[in-house]
Amino acid sequence: MAIFNLGSINADLFYRVPHLPAPGETLAATSFARGLGGKGANMSVAAARAAARCVHIGAVGQDGAWAVQRLMEYGVYTQHIVTSDTDTGNALIAIDDAGENNIILYPGANRDIPLEHVRTALDDAGAADIFLTQNETNLQREAAEIASAKGMRVAYAAAPFDAQAVQDVLPLLDLLFLNEVEARQLQEATGLPPEALPVRDVIVTLGAEGARWHNTDTGEVRAFPAVKVTPVDTTGAGDTFTGYVLAGLDRGLPMSQAIGQAMIAAAIMVTRQGTADVIPDLRDVQDFPA
């Protein structure tokens, strides 16, 4: 059993600056760091760190070999990451001394994945596998259709939120991940609250308040309180949560236990500065003081 994740891969380029640059200003950064990012890559790393076999489907540019290498080192299966002529997706992140930031996001190769490539990658997948995607690549609907036709469980994380993108895949979904704001935006767009969506399992994350799981088959709603920690950097918490839930399900855990592990993993994540490079592994989660 495996998770096939059609997802983005980004270079996160962090520039520390004395203040955010004004129009026309040239400003020297006081430090620079390059990290692995992209919501897709984050979720693949989380799933792999949570001991699932995770096959990443995506694209980088000629400049992206290091990102593929790093995904591989984290245990992600990288044979279905294609190298394209478009540059690797990247995020240019300026952070000032007060912690304010500016971000320029360039989707690059992430929005340029060939359909034939997705088809080939999913040739290896079967009904026992999970398909996952988010809204940072092209071909979300097409890939979900292929996965659904194979009888795979189809999961979607509705981020970055786009009402049309979610509605395009909604009829194909078995699992939907939303944060509180996304859940509200989807309700505004469709008129449907989470419990009325045509998706069996809807999980709404609530930041420091934890998460709610709606099983629309039984009408049951379960609330999961967050693990109490002191937040340092909340980026990547949602992606870690999603990767962990799906890895747990792929490893045969019932939903409540999968969410329980994801809750701990995401809490550890908010105590760490950084994204893909600091996602906790299953050992960190199991060793976490109860």
- Footprint of Na ion (CB under 5 A): 233, 236, 269, 272
Q: Does 229 bind ligand ADP (CB under 6 A)?
A: yes
User: Helix 237-250 crosses helix 39-49 at what angle (to 10 degrees)?
Assistant: 50
Least distance to Na ion, CB of residue 240, Å? 8
* Beta sheet of 54-60, edge-to-edge order: 81-83, 54-60, 3-6, 130-134, 153-157, 175-179, 201-205, 211-215, 220-224
Question: Which one, 204 or 269, has the nearer CB to Na ion?
Answer: 269
Q: Does 234 bind ligand ADP (CB under 6 A)?
A: yes
Q: Does 238 bind ligand ADP (CB under 6 A)?
A: yes
Partner that binds at residue 233, options Na ion, ligand ADP, none, CB closer than 5 to 8 Å by kind: Na ion
What are the tokens at 53? 């076999």
Question: Which one, 108 or 238, has the nearer CB to Na ion?
Answer: 238
Contacts with ligand ADP in 65-124 (CB under 6 A)?
none
Candidates 158, 241, 245, 276; binder of ligand ADP (CB under 6 A) is 241
Q: Which stretch binds ligand ADP (CB under 6 A): 93-101, 161-169, 259-267, 280-288?
A: 259-267
Q: Which stretch binds ligand ADP (CB under 6 A): 135-143, 167-175, 228-236, 243-251?
A: 228-236
Residues of the shown chain interacting with ligand ADP in the complex, contacts defined by CB under 6 A: 159, 179, 205-208, 210-211, 226-227, 229, 231, 234, 237-238, 241, 263, 266-267, 270
